[in-house]
Amino acid sequence: MASGVSIFHKYFVSLLTCSVLFVIGSVRVYSQSEKTAPLPKPSVLIASLPLEGSRDEGVRKVLASVMRFQLERMGTQTLLFASTDEEALVSDLFGEEERDPEFLIKSLVEFFSGVNHEFLVLAGYIKKGEEIQVSFFIADLQRGEILASASRRARIDFTLDEAMIRALRDMLPEAAGRIEEVAGRKAAEAAKLAEEQQAAEETVAETETSEPTTPTPVERFRPFEFSIGFAPFVPVGVANDVFSLSYLPFVYGNYRIPFSVGILGLGLYMALNIFDAEEVGLASYFHYVVPVGIDVRFSTLEGAPIGLFVRARSGVAINVSDFSPLPAIAQEDLSRFLAYAAGGVGAMYAISQNVGIAIDVMYETFVYFWQSDSGGGFNTDWIMGFVPSVYLYARL
């Protein structure tokens, strides 16, 4: 058996996460959070629109990122248009006509003058070959006037961000005074609102002390848990000499039983192990393997945002790979069934009582039994590896 030392550089992979955007205001824009109270910072609508031809998503992302970075450094709250809304704006304002940048910013200022936002920043761009011409404008939506503008031509390469940042730095100081004025006013409004809310809460608290209190409803325990996730399979030992880094999407469901010291989960697990053999041979006929088995997990009690658990599972794995290139006699000798087991530890982060994210690291083993001849004893081949997983779970 080959040593597993050579595979330790493969043990860890990057796990992805995602963010959630909410729709706010009277126009469809994306913000980092939804607030019922007025924003404590000046809010800025950001748009990047093509002045010729159709939009370029790569250019749009670069310009939006540069504008957000510079504006948020000035203490503002930036709000991005959805790309479909930007297309609709261009179509409604111009149709197929030539798009003059100054006419465009004035039209947008008039169009958005009634919304509950303070400023509008526009990047109107013309892309020709490997070069781009960008016209920046910043406008005061409350006063209906353009505060500053700048224009810059640059090559579309690794220095594009730097060129756009220099253009914005030349323009934004002309609007800094007005932004600071609005920021001061909004800070005063937020302080006043906080005082009013505190006074209202104190009044409610005084009223509640004179009235009978009602028990706080207790959230019910949700026994059913379902999950879907994805993980790499990092082979070790002999398997490391045969297979490269492989992958497995998986699902599971279990029934949770609460105890005084923790929660026991019993259920079923199913995955699709996609093995990638490093050389042609028998291992190449173990490309798709479906493990199905009993999943057992014991976790800490609920209540804390993060919970820990130990986990084990065992069952049978079915080789569903294509055997057709093999001779008929070889197909009969090659069994489609393997024994399967795994165990490990993990942690869960509760986003709410019924939804969360979990990670775990499992050690997974497949055992293949075969006979060298009809009268001989059984031999075994082992496929072993580490499985660092990330998955979403839901409870009912």
What's the pLDDT tens digit per position in 319-375? Answer: 888 877 776 655 556 778 899 999 999 999 999 888 999 999 999 999 987 666 555
Residues 244, 159, single domain; the answer is no
Residue-wise pLDDT for 265-316, tens only, equals: 999 999 999 988 876 667 777 889 999 999 999 999 988 889 999 999 999 9
My answer on whether 256 and 145 are in the same domain is no
176 in the same domain as 230: no
Predicted pLDDT at 328: 60
Are 318 and 230 members of one domain? yes
CATH number for the domain spanning 39: value is 3.40.50
Together in a domain, 280 and 173: no
Q: Which domain covers residue 32, as residue numbers?
A: 22-182
Same-domain pairing of 168 and 246: no
pLDDT (mean) for 149-153: 91
How confident is the model over 219-229, as a mean pLDDT?
A: 90
- Here the contacts of 120-124 (C-beta below 8 Å, separation 24 or greater) are 120/44, 120/45, 120/47, 121/44, 121/45, 121/46, 121/47, 121/67, 121/71, 122/47, 122/48, 122/49, 123/47, 123/48, 123/49, 123/63, 123/67, 123/164, 124/48, 124/49, 124/50, 124/51, 124/99
DSSP states of 295-307: EEEEEPPBTBSEE
What is the residue type of 206?
E
Reference 344, options 18, 1, 5, 11; nearest CA is 11
Tell whether 141 and 243 lie within a shared domain: no
Which pLDDT belongs to residue 102?
84
Model pLDDT, residue 98: 62
Residue 3 lies in a domain: no
| Residue from 329, 331, 327, 363 nearest 345 by CA | 363
Is residue 254 located within the same domain as residue 168?
A: no
Q: Which two tokens stand for residue 266?
A: 């019993």
What per-residue confidence (pLDDT) applies to 209? Answer: 65
Are residues 26 and 146 both part of a single domain? yes
Question: Is 189 a domain residue?
Answer: no
* 86/107 Cα distance (integer angstroms): 14
User: Is 240 found in the same domain as 162?
Assistant: no
Q: What is the CATH number of the domain that holds 237?
A: 2.40.160.20
pLDDT value at residue 270: 95
User: Is the predicted pLDDT of residue 202 greater than 60, yes or no?
Assistant: yes
Q: State the residue for tokens 């059984």.
A: 378
Under a CB-based contact definition with an 8 Å cutoff, are residues 311 and 321 in contact? Answer: no
> Burial level of 145, CB count in 10 A (0-12/13-18/19+)?
exposed
The pLDDT assigned to 272 comes to: 93
Please tell me the total count of domains within the chain.
2
Encoded tokens for 88? 């609709």
Does the pLDDT of residue 214 top 50, yes or no? yes
Residues 319 and 373 in one domain: yes
Quote the mean pLDDT of the chain. Answer: 80
pLDDT at 17 over 80: no
Task: Say which DSSP state 102 is in.
Answer: H
∠ Cα 227 232 235 (to 5°): 130
One-letter amino acid at 193 equals L
Q: What proportion of the chain, given as a percentage, has pLDDT over 90?
A: 34
Distances (CA, A) of 299 to 224, 296, 344: 14, 10, 12
- Per DSSP bridges, beta strands 43-50 and 119-128 are parallel
pLDDT of residue 195: 87
Residue 7 has pLDDT above 50, yes or no: no
Specify whether 41 is located in the same domain as 109. Answer: yes
Q: Is residue 150 part of a domain?
A: yes
Q: Which of 61-70, 205-214, 230-239, 277-286 has the lowest mean pLDDT?
A: 205-214
Residue ending a domain, choose from 182, 208, 240: 182
pLDDT at 33 over 80: no
| High-pLDDT (> 70) share of the chain, % | 78
In tens, the pLDDT along 242-254 reads: 888 888 899 999 9
Asked if residue 75 has pLDDT above 60, the reply is: yes
Confidence of residue 8 (pLDDT cuts 50, 70, 90): very low
- The pLDDT confidence band at residue 83, using thresholds 50, 70 and 90, is low
* Rounded average pLDDT over 373-383: 71
Domain boundary among 182, 209, 236: 182
